[in-house]
Structure 1
């Protein structure tokens, strides 16, 4: 296992190098000057050209890449054009908010979807199974922005239960328990959107995996030895159905970081998704490249985590 992990990490480094090359090239091939929003229009053209020369704007693209990758290897992802601060500092200021929202959504979706999928498979073609199937189809089909706007209309404007946007109430300076409650109120709506979308996928995969497992010989043997259906499912069947669930779970981790862009934008949640949108909107190339590289790292590590969890869940899987 240790050799496998080391080998995968070495492959990850090579993949990251290729990803960095593609990201850097695509971003710098965009037309226009990203520094135009920072410069006073009254600055003389000669001074402007001198400033752009100093920051390396006119350097060949391969020279720009070498400078950028050299700094990145030292932990310096550059300086944000729009925020006027180091890229890592800007990302770190938003990362915790996204982790909070993503963890909440993932926990809620797993707690609802996994038991529902198992029960749906055990009671195939029942009313409960039809309800779960319909809910999962709706969750897969409905766009995140549309569902988010519906929740804002119903729960924020019509019923006025939850706040419309943001992470904290504007103008208030809560501390302690009051602050936790205030954040909890603001996280409900965006958390519901992300949780519902994730829940739909988890339900479908759990149901499909359990249906396949229920037809295995060892499940019939367990029932023949006197185990109840419930015990045979949770003691023998569920663990063998975990492999596909681990796959979809680890695939959803990067999605929760990068795919929350629309949700965080709609609800003005100050996280990585909204930061991606702001970096693109303001043509903040250093920040955009830093965000894309971090998301690439999360995707690769999530794939590695899935492979490790396979071996933990199923002893028959070994890596050499």
Structure 2
């Protein structure tokens, strides 16, 4: 609750510290230039900008607790409605990237660390070292250029075609094709993180007596990788997941912009450019709640694992 309260304070204060006034920006358009002073003041009150910061904050807290995130005048729609539309797209990318980077990163790290300094270890570690220097938005641009421009096998951007298919299966395939590149762009950096983590742990495990004895008994293949390496790596992986989720949510803001993907990151950028305080507060609060929820699930999983021993 303390963390959530601090998030509410930050989402309220940070947009108001930005230069510019959303009401002045709105009044500068041709549509609203003829408003009278009384109408402009009424509009300011509706936007939650009337009174002191303390009054605005109390009004904002009451609205958040009641589930009312305000109204975006730029989009002419309630913020909760905009977030309900954008959040599933962001969730699709995040929930698609998590199993991807865990499976690829951990399995590759185990394979490299089982017998270090082999050809696979040298090639994979060299490739991961190069990828570690690339931020997610750079990876996104490279993927876009290669697979959507130079070799156009995947869509250039968006979440679905302009005219989506009516059949549920065909539409699902279209959505997955549009989500593939941004999901991979999100996963690449975390693949590097979990590869290096798993490789280091696997190298240390390979010298442990229980693993040497298992190999002497002829245990190898997937049983060795899953039962002996994977199970011993699980607590370490869960411990790193909290930090990974935070990095992933931060990266999705940039990746969605590169691919024009209609998630919260894309919505957040529009709110910043338009000085839309209400929408910006709601978007940041929505992302924060998503991070807290995923971290809570990770803590529950870690507690259950510790209880089972």
How does the TM-score come out when normalised to structure 2?
Answer: 0.88
Distance 2:44 2:294 in 1: 39
Distance 1:165 1:287 in 2: 23
String of CA shifts for 1:172-196, please: whole Å, max 9, x gaps.
Answer: 5543222122222222221221122
Partner of 2:238: 246
The alignment partner of 2:161 has SS state of coil
**In 2, are the aligned partners of 1:80 and 1:286 still within 8 Å (CA)?**
yes
**Aligned residue runs from structure 1 range 1-320, under 5 A:** 13-39=1-27, 40-45=32-37, 47-53=39-45, 55-224=47-216, 226-230=217-221, 231-315=223-307
Distance 2:38 2:307 in 1: 69
Tell me: CA distance 1:178–1:300, structure 2 relative to 1, closer, same or farther (3 Å).
Answer: closer
**In 2, are the aligned partners of 1:81 and 1:285 still within 8 Å (CA)?**
no
Distance 1:50 1:179 in 2: 44
Tell me: CA distance 1:54–1:315, structure 2 relative to 1, closer, same or farther (3 Å).
Answer: closer
User: 1:73 offset after TM fit, Å?
Assistant: 0.9
Tell me: CA distance 1:266–1:211, structure 2 relative to 1, closer, same or farther (3 Å).
Answer: same
**In 2, are the aligned partners of 1:250 and 1:305 still within 8 Å (CA)?**
no
String of CA shifts for 1:179-226, please: whole Å, max 9, x gaps.
Answer: 1222222222212211222211121111122223233333334345x1
Distance 2:291 2:273 in 1: 24
**In 2, are the aligned partners of 1:258 and 1:295 still within 8 Å (CA)?**
no
Distance 1:22 1:164 in 2: 35
User: 1:234 offset after TM fit, Å?
Assistant: 2.6
Segment of structure 1 superposing worse, 104-113 or 257-266 = 104-113
String of CA shifts for 1:117-175, please: whole Å, max 9, x gaps.
Answer: 11111021111011221222222211222222222222222222112111122245543
Tell me: CA distance 1:114–1:46, structure 2 relative to 1, closer, same or farther (3 Å).
Answer: same
- Number of residue pairs the alignment of both structures matches: 304
Unaligned residue ranges in structure 1 (runs of 5+): 1-12
CA RMSD of aligned residues (A): 2.3
How does the TM-score come out when normalised to structure 1?
Answer: 0.85
Segment of structure 1 superposing worse, 290-299 or 111-120 = 290-299
